[in-house]
């Protein structure tokens, strides 16, 4: 577990049924992720595409979380009812990383 972690959650806009650019407030995986973060003492994810400037297919939410157990977080994200789990990714920067790592789902069995 790193002291200083930055994560960006990315997924496909096919997770919801409307034409809106940003995910609906009641999208179950996001509701559950934000609830998990708050229950773990963290702030909710920030919508990095709030103004819709990234295009309709780029859904990016993220934050900086001190002492976040990234493996536990990823296992939780993977357990949620995504329509297209294979389109979910997490970009992760640990406290001493010079570049990000891409975590894809479903995670390989040997990783957890």
pLDDT per position as a tens digit, 75-92: 999 999 999 999 999 999
The sign of the CA dihedral 7, 13, 19, 25 is: negative
- Domain boundaries in the chain? 4-111
16-57: per-residue pLDDT in tens?
887 777 788 899 999 999 999 999 999 999 988 776 566 667
Q: For residue 74, give the nearest of 4, 20, 3, 5 by alpha carbon.
A: 5
Architecture of domain 4-111: 2-Layer Sandwich (3.30)
Full-model pTM: 0.87
Is it the case that residue 104 has pLDDT exceeding 80? Answer: yes
């Amino acid at each position: 577990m790193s002291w200083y972690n930055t994560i960006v959650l990315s997924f496909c806009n096919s997770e919801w049924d409307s034409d809106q650019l940003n995910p609906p407030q009641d999208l179950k995986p996001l509701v559950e992720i934000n609830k998990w973060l708050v229950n773990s003492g963290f702030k909710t994810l920030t919508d990095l595409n709030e103004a819709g400037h990234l295009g309709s297919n780029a859904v990016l939410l993220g934050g900086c979380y001190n002492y976040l157990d990234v493996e536990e977080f990823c296992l939780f994200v993977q357990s949620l009812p995504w329509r297209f789990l294979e389109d979910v990714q997490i970009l992760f920067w640990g406290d001493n990383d010079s570049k990000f790592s891409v975590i894809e789902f479903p995670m390989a069995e040997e990783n957890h």
